[in-house]
A = this chain, B = another copy of it.
Amino acid sequence: MEQAVSADRKGGNAVSGEFVTFAGERYYAIHNVDRMAPFFISVISSADHWLFVSSTGGLTAGRVSPETALFPYIPVDRVHESISHTGPKTLLRVQADGHQQLWEPFNREFEAHFAVSRHLYKNMLGNKLCFEEINHDLKLAFRYTWMTSDRFGFVRHCELGNLASRPVRVDVLDGLQNILPAGTPLLAQTNTSNLVDAYKWTELDEPTGLGIFTLYSGVSDRAEPCESLKANTVFATGLEVRRVLLSSEQLDAFRAGADVEQEACKRGIRGSYFVNASVEVAAGQSQRWQLVADVEQSQARVVELRKRLQREADIEDTIAGSIDMCDDELARIMAAADGFQVSAQENVATHHYANVLFNTLRGGIFDDQYNVPARDFLQTVRHFNRSVYARNEALLGSLPDVINFNQLVSMVRPHGDRQLERLCYEYLPITFGRRHGDPSRPWNRFAIRLKDEFGNRLLSYEGNWRDIFQNWEALTFSYPEFIENVIAKFVNASTMDGYNPYRITKEGIDWEVEEPDDPWSYIGYWGDHQIIYLQKLLELSQHFHPTRLAELLHQPIFCYANVPYRIKSLEDLLGNPKDTVVFDHALAERIEQRVAENGADGKLVLDDNGEVYQVTLLEKLLVPLLAKLGNFVLGGGIWLNTQRPEWNDANNALVGNGLSMVTLYYMRRYVCFLQELLSSESEPVDLSQEVSEWLGDTASALESVRPVFVAGPTSPEQRFETLQELGLAACGYREAVYRKEGFSGKVKQQPDAILKMLDDALAAIDHSISVNRRIDRLYNAYNILDLGTGTAQIDTLYPMLEGQVAVLSSGAMSAQEACSLLDALFESDIYRPEQHAFMLYPDRKLPGFFDKNRIPEADVAAIPLLTRMLEAGDDRIVSKDAEGTYRFSADFRNSGDLVDRLDALQPDYGDEIDAASERLAAALREGVQSSSVHRAFGSNVRLRGTWQHLLAHGLEAATCDPGELFFGAR
User: B-contacting residues of A (Cβ < 8 Å)?
Assistant: 75-78, 81, 84-85, 102, 107, 109-113, 190-195, 197-199, 201, 203, 205, 212, 214, 216-218, 220-231, 252, 255, 265, 267-268, 270, 298-300, 302-304, 307, 439-440, 442, 519-520, 522, 524, 578, 643-645, 652-653, 655-656, 846, 848-850, 852-853, 875, 879-883, 885, 887-896, 928-929, 931-933, 935-942
Contact = CB atoms under 8 A, between A and B. Distances in A.
A267 B227 contact: no
B212 A849 contact: yes
Contact of A643 (B75, B110, B223): B223
Contacts of A193: 75, 77-78
A228 B299 CA distance: 53
A892 B229 contact: yes
A54 to B, nearest CB: 11
Contacts of A302: 849-850
Contacts of A885: 299, 303
Given A224-B652, A299-B881, A879-B300, A191 B194 contact: no
B224 A655 contact: yes
B932 A217 contact: yes
B892 A227 contact: yes
Contacts of A230: 890
B894 A203 contact: no
Contacts of A303: 850, 881-883, 885
A401 to B, nearest CB: 22
Nearest to A933: B225
A160 to B, nearest CB: 20
Given A881-B299, A892-B229, A893-B218, A939 B223 contact: no
B893 A298 contact: no
B890 A75 contact: no
A658 B248 CA distance: 38
Contacts of A109: 84, 107, 109-110
A638 to B, nearest CB: 16
Nearest to A643: B223
Given A112-B255, A893-B226, A887 B935 contact: no
Contacts of A77: 193-194, 197, 270
A227 B937 contact: no
9 contacts: A102-B112, A190-B190, A191-B442, A222-B519, A222-B652, A224-B652, A227-B852, A268-B937, A299-B887
Contact of A848 (B111, B112, B190, B265): B265
Contacts of A892: 227, 229
Nearest to A645: B223
A75 B192 contact: yes
A198 B938 contact: yes
Best-buried of A203, A656, A935 by chain B (most CB within 10 Å): A935
Contacts of A268: 937, 939-940
A222 B849 contact: no
A653 B225 contact: yes
A626 B91 CA distance: 65
Given A270-B77, A299-B887, A932 B227 contact: yes
Contacts of A81: 84-85
Nearest to A890: B298
A689 B448 CA distance: 64
A113 B307 CA distance: 46
The 3 closest A-B pairs by CB, nearest first: A198-B939, A109-B109, A298-B890
A270 to B, nearest CB: 7
Contacts of A113: 112
A482 B30 CA distance: 72
Contact of A935 (B214, B217, B652, B875): B217
A270 B935 CA distance: 18
Contacts of A645: 223
Contact of A225 (B110, B265, B932): B932
Nearest to A264: B848
B300 A887 contact: yes
Given A201-B849, A205-B850, A298-B889, 15 more contacts: A77-B270, A107-B109, A111-B252, A190-B190, A197-B939, A221-B522, A222-B652, A224-B652, A225-B653, A227-B929, A229-B887, A299-B849, A299-B850, A299-B885, A303-B883
B223 A644 contact: yes
Contacts of A852: 227, 229, 299
Contact of A75 (B78, B191, B875): B191
Contacts of A110: 109
B217 A300 contact: no
Nearest to A112: B102
B304 A882 contact: yes
Contacts of A111: 252, 255
A524 B221 CA distance: 12
A928 B224 CA distance: 13
Nearest to A84: B84
Contacts of A520: 221-222
Contacts of A889: 298
A295 to B, nearest CB: 12
A110 B109 CA distance: 7
Contacts of A928: 227, 229
Contacts of A848: 203, 265
B932 A192 contact: no
B440 A194 contact: yes
Given A81-B84, A84-B81, A936 B267 contact: yes
Nearest to A183: B893
Contacts of A849: 201, 203, 212, 214, 231, 299, 302
Contacts of A300: 875, 879-882, 887, 890
A633 to B, nearest CB: 19
Nearest to A104: B109
Nearest to A297: B890
Contacts of A229: 852-853, 887-888, 890-893, 928
B107 A890 contact: no
Q: Specify which of A102, A226, A230, A941 lies most central, judged by the most chain B CB atoms within 10 Å of its CB.
A: A226
A894 B223 contact: no
Contacts of A112: 102, 113, 255
Contacts of A225: 652-653, 893-895, 929, 932-933
B201 A936 contact: yes
Contact of A223 (B228, B298, B522, B893): B522
Nearest to A191: B190
A651 to B, nearest CB: 8
A936 to B, nearest CB: 4
A938 B217 CA distance: 12
A957 to B, nearest CB: 21
A226 B440 contact: no
A56 to B, nearest CB: 11
A931 B652 contact: no
A509 B264 CA distance: 49
B881 A304 contact: yes
Given A935-B217, A939-B197, A223 B655 contact: yes
A811 to B, nearest CB: 31
Max chain B C-beta neighbours (<10 A), residue from A224, A300, A522, A881:
A224
A880 B300 CA distance: 7
A198 B84 contact: no
